[in-house]
Structure 1
Amino acid sequence: ATMAASPAWWPLVVCLGAAVNVGWKKEEIFAPLPGGGQVGMSTRGPSAFRVRILGPGDNRGPIFSPMVGPDVEDALFTHDTAYTAGVRITSRVGALEVTYDGQMHLFSADGRLITSSDPLDASESTVTFSSYKGALYGRGASPDDAQVLSEDSSTPQVCNTATYAPYYYSTDGYSALGVVEVPDGQRLPVSYQSTGSKIVWRHRGPFDLYLMPAKLLREGTEAYMALTGSPRVPPRYAFGFIASRWGWEDRQYIEDTVSKFREGRYPIDGIVFDFEWFTTETDYPFTPPGKSSYQDFGYNPALLDAPAQQFAQLADKNIRVGVIRKPRLGNTGFLDMARSKGWVLQAAEPGGAWPPDIANSYAQKRCLDFTKPEVRDWYSHQIEHYYEDGISFWWNDEGESDYFTYYWWNVAEVQALRLKDSVRRFYSLNRAFTPGMARLGATVWTGDIEPTWKDLQRTPGMMLNWVLAGAPYVACDIGGFTRESDGTLLTRWMQVGSFMPTMRVHSTYQAKPHFPWLWGESAGNAMRRALEMRYRLVPFHYSLAHALYRKHKLWIRPLLIDWSSDSETWSLVGQWMDGELLVAPITREDSQVDVYLPSGLWYPLAASQVTPGESAPVSGPRRIQRGGGFDEVPVFAPAGAVVPLAPVVQSTADLPGGPLEVQVYAGADGSFELVEDDGETIAYETGQVRTTAFVWSDRQRRLTWTVQGYLLAPGPRSFSKLFVTMVSSDGVRHSDTYLLGVVGAIDMSDESRFV
């Protein structure tokens, strides 16, 4: 009773503030352990407690981990010196205490006991918490468990098609992140396992634990994002479509491909080159000495004979260029130099996909150790000229040589960009991730997946599990990478991709490229519609990305975050929330629709690219099972949703392209914040954005708005006009088009009019 009651005085502390001496602190407080050693207790970031278990004579500081944001300001806390059973600290999110018998207790802000540990022993390599059959979310996923949201364990590692993190959210009411000092190759020597009544952390070496009280998964995820660092907003072009392949042939092939996208009215913003852009041979068969003729940092003249000129010509067509990079060296001279300086990892790249084939690892003794600052300095100078030439972003592949290779590799790439440009946004796409990479501007794709219906069906679950594990921007090889795809499968995958954070196709050099016009008229038309929907969603998605950066609110998320009391949502992985939109794409070869709608009133999204001719609302909870059309993507908006849509454009550089359509769905009040900025620089981080707050009053049938922010006047990519589409049980009604002023309102009650 004493333990549970004490945190309840936290509101009193907040109310009295400076009027009383409450002992606000940021410095670590220590609690002795009965078997020797001590526990360091403090806060980290706004919402986490940091726990450090130290043996006798262990005077180390906190473990520096790339997973924890270095610039996060720590919350103040109080040290309750009146507590006589041990040591207790209290912050605004709850309380943490260690009793003199070595037990640790975590409390919520209202004084509820969340979990207790077994007595802590600094000589042991385990920490055990009580659990009340808490379900665990956020571990990451592989192809084996991509379609399962909750699992009992995690063994952190990175691999082609798999990533696991030392993190979970427990429905007991808290999140936890475990940190150790040194990776073991592509694994991290820390893990957890739940039995239902106990959650056991096991670790090797020094161990820090971050605990975040959170009643709901939504709150736990927001606390986790705050701890690992705010995910940077990608440049606006990354919200469009990117076409990649292995096998770009020559300069003419590039120009012809881009022309076919533009002439066929298939919207696109970027292309990505594989190996062929910088070399005429792959380095897969190379032995440790490498080859003296191999170039690591040049161009292949067969493809790029005048790189800067070619990139500029592509930019004139609103096409950005990304290129593949490998975290290793192939040139003998570079390798000799790197080895002489101790810059090369002993570990190699695991072979194959999941599970990792360690026995057939490749690039032996050729992978750079990016944890070393001097390696990052050297590497950044080798690649800085690419930014000057006109390359926009990196596609980082095969970096699973160490658990943190991708993180430090991206740090080197950011460093290279800053050598040339102090304000441009950094952007990269990586084959695996570790928590914290998103704060750099690094995104992830799900690896070398197969062109099968099974891998298509795994894609939503893989995305959702990786989002919960700390990677909010997830892409995939749309259509599958490893061999030939087919038109129906590719079309369905494109429809899925249009509602993913990043939309990108990819294929191997032995397969037909995943370019829409190559797959027949019917498939090509359906893919065009999916691309058009992607581009209509840009203002919606871009605004949600800003909300993720500012408020840590997940843009893409499983339904259970919004309907945690509805057991039907707990295991749903074939559908997801995209902002307020419920997306349930068709991923079955027989084109069957299978949608679960939670409680509430739902409308098919009123966009012809998705649900042609449908507008009648449906009341949930309800499951819909029926046949689906070839070009149909089941997407639903709840009553009260406010959804801004752009006109169909051929690239994000063509925005605004006309008036903004603001769709409102009758039956409830609603709101949405449209955020616009320059789309290219980090100026948004200092508040240089234009925010339009839309508010829908259902009783008045009126949409009002207020514009605030640095850019009150519309910029060249900002919307200056709008019209309203109101969707109700009576059908669909459109207003006239009006200027989007600093304040305004449109009345949709009878005849639409500007107020």
Structure 2
Amino acid sequence: MKIRGKRPFVLSRSSYPSIGRFSGVWTGDVRSDWEQLRYSIPAVLQFSLFGVPLVGADICGFEGNTTEELCVRWMQLGAFYPFMRNHNDKPNAPQEPYIFGKKAQAAMRSALNLRYSLLPFLYTLFHHAHTSADTVARPLFMEFPADSNSQTIDRQFLWGSSLLISPVLEQGAVELAAYLPPGTWYSLHNGQPFYSKGQYLLLPAPLDTINVHVREGHIIPQQEPALTTTASRRNPFFLTVALSAGGWAWGDLFWDDGDSLDTFEMENHCYIVFIAGQSQVVSDPLRLNGALDGLVLGGLQVFGVPSPPLYVLANGDKVRDFTYRSDTKVLTVTSLALPMSKVFTVQWLL
């Protein structure tokens, strides 16, 4: 770190108080079986509670030979470990995605692309972990302390306060009984709303699907995925806006060069707040340093729009490329090119 003047990457299995400030951790030599897949969730959540936000298990298992189905399901769950790594022991069968059949490869590619699209959101979560000791992977009881059902959930978890991840953890399963805490939750895949009183719902979960839901009142910053994180960082942004019953939502984005030291402490970063309300989304750049120059908002999807918009405006100009689905109440706006480093407004007239 002193020689390069840039961030190091340290990964450790041994730990000590405050290791989460300096190092990522993996959960040790897990077996390639379904039991270890299930146990990896409470293991990751425990490290999060210990103040170690960058943590993950060896995807597909380290000891023994995995199977195609197990590896697909583990890649789907692993896409939501804060630290994601497929890793196994040298004597065991290879488990890289290209080893398996085309359907398995497609399912794994879909999970990886979903993670890459969410990297701006994940990076922002790590910013909050760094500055205020927030958790990245979060047990449900931390967000819903008054909900007794959430106290015992260890097969699902949250990213921050916004995303609920409900993976398949049983061999041969093609549906999933997922617990949704009280409130409105939208499927991240298609915006379908679920109005929960704090209950289990039976959700379809074919091999190519991991169920992820967005909590009402939140805005998720995303980017179009590419083959590397470096390439992804140059792609257009898009927002997923999950409106509350009152029609509002909030989100934020922390952005820097990804490599320099102490960018928050030195105020060498960008920080943008997104606010939705009164049928519009507005960005508010609270700090800029040039890191977002040349990057644009390419589109957004708004969940929970009650009726078809008559028209959509972007910074006061009419937008041609938008669609509305009456069955899911999702408004999708594409073909935008709004500079991320400037204030923008996207408005829909009902």
Q: Considering the TM-score relative to the shorter chain, is it more than 0.5? A: yes
Cα deviations by residue, 1:354-381 (Å, 9 ceiling, x for unpaired): xxxxxxxxxxxxxxxxxxxxxxxxxxxx
| Among candidates 21, 25, 33, match of residue 439 of structure 1 | 21
The separation in 2 between residues aligned to 1:693 and 1:479, in whole angstroms, is: 37
| Structure 1: unaligned runs, 5 residues or longer | 1-416, 607-613, 751-755
The separation in 2 between residues aligned to 1:619 and 1:734, in whole angstroms, is: 21
Q: Does structure 2 conserve the Cα–Cα contact (< 8 Å) formed by 1:649 and 1:657?
A: no
Displacement of 1:428 in angstroms is: 1.1
Indicate the residue corresponding to 2:254 in structure 1.
Answer: 675
Give the TM-score normalised by the residue count of structure 2: 0.87
In structure 2, the CA distance between the partners of 1:557 and 1:516, relative to structure 1 (3 Å rule), is same
Displacement of 1:547 in angstroms is: 1.3
Aligned residue for 2:207, secondary structure, equals: coil
Displacement of 1:590 in angstroms is: 2.6
In structure 2, the CA distance between the partners of 1:444 and 1:649, relative to structure 1 (3 Å rule), is same
Matches within 5 A, 1:107-506: 417-418=1-2, 420-421=3-4, 423-440=5-22, 442-506=23-87
Matches within 5 A, 1:45-124: none
Does 2:187 match 1:604? Answer: yes
The separation in 1 between residues aligned to 2:17 and 2:79, in whole angstroms, is: 25
Indicate the residue corresponding to 1:112 in structure 2.
Answer: none
Aligned residue for 1:546, secondary structure, equals: helix
Q: Does structure 1 conserve the Cα–Cα contact (< 8 Å) formed by 2:251 and 2:274?
A: yes
Aligned residue for 2:181, secondary structure, equals: strand
In structure 2, the CA distance between the partners of 1:748 and 1:713, relative to structure 1 (3 Å rule), is farther
Amino acid of the residue matched to residue 93 of structure 2? K
Displacement of 1:742 in angstroms is: 1.9
Cα deviations by residue, 1:318-355 (Å, 9 ceiling, x for unpaired): xxxxxxxxxxxxxxxxxxxxxxxxxxxxxxxxxxxxxx
Q: Does structure 1 conserve the Cα–Cα contact (< 8 Å) formed by 2:269 and 2:291?
A: no
In structure 2, the CA distance between the partners of 1:619 and 1:715, relative to structure 1 (3 Å rule), is same
Indicate the residue corresponding to 1:255 in structure 2.
Answer: none
The separation in 1 between residues aligned to 2:290 and 2:273, in whole angstroms, is: 12
| Among candidates 278, 287, 301, match of residue 709 of structure 1 | 287
Indicate the residue corresponding to 1:734 in structure 2.
Answer: 332
Does 2:218 match 1:641? Answer: yes
Matches within 5 A, 1:651-662: 651-662=228-239
Larger relative contact order (CA 8 Å, sep ≥ 6):
2
| Structure 2: unaligned runs, 5 residues or longer | 307-325
Aligned residue for 2:37, secondary structure, equals: helix
In structure 2, the CA distance between the partners of 1:446 and 1:430, relative to structure 1 (3 Å rule), is same
The separation in 1 between residues aligned to 2:195 and 2:15, in whole angstroms, is: 39
Q: Does structure 1 conserve the Cα–Cα contact (< 8 Å) formed by 2:256 and 2:291?
A: no
The separation in 2 between residues aligned to 1:686 and 1:636, in whole angstroms, is: 35
Displacement of 1:693 in angstroms is: 1.0
Aligned residue for 1:682, secondary structure, equals: coil
The separation in 2 between residues aligned to 1:433 and 1:557, in whole angstroms, is: 20
The separation in 1 between residues aligned to 2:119 and 2:224, in whole angstroms, is: 10
Q: Does structure 2 conserve the Cα–Cα contact (< 8 Å) formed by 1:647 and 1:657?
A: no
Task: Select the structure of larger CA radius of gyration.
Answer: 1
Cα deviations by residue, 1:558-598 (Å, 9 ceiling, x for unpaired): 00001001110001110011121011111111324121001
Aligned residue for 2:58, secondary structure, equals: coil
The separation in 2 between residues aligned to 1:713 and 1:520, in whole angstroms, is: 40
Indicate the residue corresponding to 2:168 in structure 1.
Answer: 586
The separation in 1 between residues aligned to 2:212 and 2:7, in whole angstroms, is: 32
| Identity in percent | 27
Cα deviations by residue, 1:68-120 (Å, 9 ceiling, x for unpaired): xxxxxxxxxxxxxxxxxxxxxxxxxxxxxxxxxxxxxxxxxxxxxxxxxxxxx
Aligned residue for 1:528, secondary structure, equals: helix
Please report the RMSD computed on the Cα atoms of aligned residues, expressed in angstroms. Answer: 1.7
Aligned residue for 1:743, secondary structure, equals: coil
Does 2:298 match 1:722? Answer: yes
Does 2:114 match 1:537? Answer: no
Indicate the residue corresponding to 1:664 in structure 2.
Answer: 241
The separation in 1 between residues aligned to 2:333 and 2:107, in whole angstroms, is: 29
Amino acid of the residue matched to residue 701 of structure 1? S
Amino acid of the residue matched to residue 46 of structure 2? N
Cα deviations by residue, 1:373-431 (Å, 9 ceiling, x for unpaired): xxxxxxxxxxxxxxxxxxxxxxxxxxxxxxxxxxxxxxxxxxxx32x22x211221111
Task: State the aligned residue count.
Answer: 320
Displacement of 1:657 in angstroms is: 4.1
Indicate the residue corresponding to 1:25 in structure 2.
Answer: none
Give the TM-score normalised by the residue count of structure 1: 0.41
Aligned residue for 2:59, secondary structure, equals: coil
